[in-house]
Chains A and B, each alone.
Chain A
Amino acid sequence: DAKTTQPPSMDCAEGRAANLPCNHSTISGNEYVYWYRQIHSQGPQYIIHGLKNNETNEMASLIITEDRKSSTLILPHATLRDTAVYYCIVRRTGANSKLTFGKGITLSVRP
């Protein structure tokens, strides 16, 4: 599976949009981009995933560039509860494909 690169940390003000970048320049055509987050002392939680089209659900939006070499996770109205480590993961489809985590990006939402 392709590797991802994320900045170590960022912060944003409560109520504002949080835009979390991810670089995956070696992504293959059959690899999806996944985002998970981990709130302190809890297990990771699935947020969203996509292949090449932009995706949106009740938690977030995922914007993938046309060349698929990078993506941005958008939390439209960040709250204090969104403070967490966010992991961008590239993963193939298939029964034995695994979730391989990097260090992620620590998002701090300030009041």
Chain B
Amino acid sequence: EAEVAQSPRYKITEKSQAVAFWCDPISGHATLYWYRQILGQGPELLVQFQDESVVDDSQLPKDRFSAERLKGVDSTLKIQPAELGDSAMYLCASSLQGQGHYGYTFGSGTRLTVV
């Protein structure tokens, strides 16, 4: 069964440092999502891509977060500088054209700890 690949699985970084996460969606999935999940809460959407274009980044803290999907395939989420409050699980998901439930497949996430 096809999977969404994410790396690294775990990341520990010092505050004020830069950190980056990588996501490789299921082949052929045009829509890619980045979610953030704080411990004890449900995932929160940060950014949605349709191919290489950003469709929704209204919840992305743009002063420190950036996301790109240059060739419309894999994607990188960056935080610079990291803050203690950024400690969370960062989840990537992909979907067929943003429609329907079947295409919403999540990766296993990157757990970020900022110290």
Task: Mark A residues whose CB is within 8 Å of B.
Answer: 32, 34, 41-46, 49, 85, 87, 93-104
Contact = CB atoms under 8 A, between A and B. Distances in A.
Given A96-B98, A99-B104, A43 B42 contact: no
B25 interface: no
Given A43-B91, A96-B55, A96-B56, A87 B42 contact: yes
B114 interface: no
Interface residues of B, number: 28
Contact of B106 (A34, A45, A103): A45
B31 to A, nearest CB: 8
A86 B87 CA distance: 23
B59 to A, nearest CB: 10
Contact of B42 (A32, A98, A102): A102
Contacts of B56: 96, 98
